[in-house]
């Protein structure tokens, strides 16, 4: 859900610009694009505006894929983890309050004991007075014991609570990193893996490659069979990629019908071979509509392959080279693998 909170007059004015831009640049009129272009014309985020300007200057121009990346980079909010963050803060505050109140009680008990000790030092105390002081000492000690027991109980409860929260957080974190539809890593997981890959690059040398896989004419496919069958195809495609996944391979849904494979310890040739293998598998699959014998049209995909250049590449330049290869694969007729060296 994309929300805007401006007055109707402002929104209407900005929509006039958006409409003109969409026509001029042939931009897909989907909610995500409306949202991004609204933000662009509103201009509240100069960095985003600058990046979109750069995209528009580039030969490839703007497309839905770039839009999804920009949305994730600049506007997506991870609300699940911030809920946990709040729960942890609440718990920590509660523990601090309990520790403080335990400290106060301990303080008053200590004062009471000091007072009793002073009283006992006095000369000429009669039996009755001594009895009274010892009884005070006893009741202070009992009260101290109760306070301690109560404190231990609270701390135990809090530590159980923390354990539970931690387990929930771990479970949610793995969901947060997984694409709901296809069950491969999502865009966030991709960002994290890419960062890790860049850090590990010294260890893996130049053997880190990327494959971007993009289903061909998926819009037509959706238009012909509907989004639900389109979703099944996305799931099928992800399953097919996962079928021969090696331990040096991470698979992500980058967005829409586009998947990224990050490959460690792969030569460029091996990465191209892997992409060809997926391409052949998907294009030779005979998919049928559920509960019917009707075969659906052949599905093909295009692939762009690039190799990480240690000390030269960052996440963006690495991705851009694979993306340019993919762009060429699309331009040259689709259902093919293009490697960056043939650009």
Contact set with ligand GTP (CB under 6 A) = 64, 181, 214-220, 222, 227, 230-231, 234, 256-257, 330, 334
Residue 171: CB minimum distance to ligand GTP, A: 24
For residue 154, which of 104, 100, 209, 98 has the smallest C-alpha distance? 98
Least Å distance, CB 258 to ligand GTP, is 8
Which residue(s) pair with 318 in the sheet? Answer: none
Return contacts of 280-283, CB within 8 angstroms, 24+ apart: 281/240, 281/243, 282/215, 282/237, 282/240, 283/335
User: How far from 66 is each of 54, 61, 299, CA to CA, in Å?
Assistant: 12, 9, 23
**Identity of the residue, 26 or 85, whose beta carbon is nearer to ligand GTP in the bound complex:** 26
CA 260/CA 339 separation, integer angstroms: 14
Task: Give the HSE-up count for residue 202: Cα atoms under 13 Å, Cβ half-sphere.
Answer: 1
Instruction: Report the residue number, 100 or 220, with the smaller CB distance to ligand GTP.
Output: 220
Instruction: Supply the minimum distance, in Å, between the C-beta of residue 182 and ligand GTP.
Output: 9
C-alpha span between 157 and 168 (Å, rounded): 16
Distances (CA, A) of 135 to 116, 145, 147, 148, 177: 10, 15, 18, 20, 62
Rounded CA-CA distance 202/308 in Å is: 11
Closest CB to ligand GTP among 62 and 266? 62
What 3-state DSSP class applies to 295?
strand
Q: Are 28 and 64 in contact (CB under 8 A)?
A: yes
Q: Judged by CB, which is closer to ligand GTP: 233, or 308?
A: 233
Closest contact distance (angstroms) between CB of 159 and ligand GTP is 42
Query: In terms of DSSP bridges, do strands 258-264 and 249-255 run parallel, antiparallel, or are they unpaired?
Result: antiparallel
Residues in CB range of 114: below 8 A, 6 or more apart: none
Q: Which is nearer to ligand GTP, 148 or 222 (CB)?
A: 222
Nearest distance, CB of residue 324 and ligand GTP, angstroms: 14
Of 257, 258, 270, 316, which one is the catalytic site residue? 257
CA 145 – CA 102 distance, rounded (Å): 12
Least CB distance to ligand GTP at residue 224 (A): 11
Closest approach of ligand GTP to the CB of residue 71, in Å: 13
Closest chain position to ligand GTP (CB)? 230
Task: Tell me if 320 sits within 8 A of 260, measured CB to CB.
Answer: no
DSSP string covering 64-107, please? HHHHHHHHHHHT---HHHHHHHHHHHHHHHHHHHHHHHHHHHHH
Please identify, using beta-carbon distances, which residue of 237 and 318 lies nearer to ligand GTP: 237
- The answer to whether 257 is a known catalytic residue is yes
Catalytic positions: 257
């Amino acid at each position: 859900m994309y929300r805007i909170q401006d007055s109707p007059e402002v929104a209407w004015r900005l929509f006039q610009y958006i409409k003109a831009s969409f026509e001029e640049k042939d931009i897909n009129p989907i909610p995500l694009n409306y949202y991004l272009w609204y933000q662009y014309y509103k201009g509240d985020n100069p960095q985003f505006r600058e990046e979109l300007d750069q995209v528009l200057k580039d030969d490839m121009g703007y497309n839905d894929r770039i839009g999804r990346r920009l949305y994730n980079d600049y506007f997506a909010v991870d609300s699940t983890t911030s809920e946990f963050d709040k729960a942890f803060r609440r718990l920590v505050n509660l523990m601090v309050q309990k520790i403080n109140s335990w400290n106060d009680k301990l303080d008053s008990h200590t004062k009471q004991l000091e007072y009793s000790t002073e009283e006992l030092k006095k000369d000429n105390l009669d039996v009755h007075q001594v009895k009274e002081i010892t009884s005070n000492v006893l009741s202070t000690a009992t009260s101290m014991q109760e306070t301690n027991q109560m404190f231990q109980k609270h701390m135990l409860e809090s530590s159980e609570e923390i354990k539970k929260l931690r387990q929930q957080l771990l479970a949610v974190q793995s969901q947060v990193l997984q694409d709901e539809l296809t069950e491969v890593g999502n865009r966030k997981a991709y960002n994290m893996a890419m960062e890790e890959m860049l850090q590990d690059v010294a260890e893996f040398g130049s053997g880190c490659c990327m494959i971007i896989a993009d289903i061909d004419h998926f819009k037509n496919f959706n238009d012909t069979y509907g989004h639900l069958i389109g979703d099944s195809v996305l799931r099928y495609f992800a399953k097919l990629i996962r079928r021969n996944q090696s331990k040096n391979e991470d698979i992500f849904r980058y967005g829409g019908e586009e998947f990224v494979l990050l490959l460690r310890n792969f030569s460029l040739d091996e990465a191209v071979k892997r992409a060809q293998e997926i391409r052949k598998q998907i294009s030779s699959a005979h998919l049928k509509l559920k509960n019917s014998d009707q075969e659906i049209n052949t599905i093909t995909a295009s692939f762009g392959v690039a190799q990480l250049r240690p000390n030269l590449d960052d996440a963006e330049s690495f991705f851009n080279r694979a993306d340019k290869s993919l762009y060429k694969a699309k331009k040259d007729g689709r259902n093919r693998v293009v490697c960056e060296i043939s650009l």
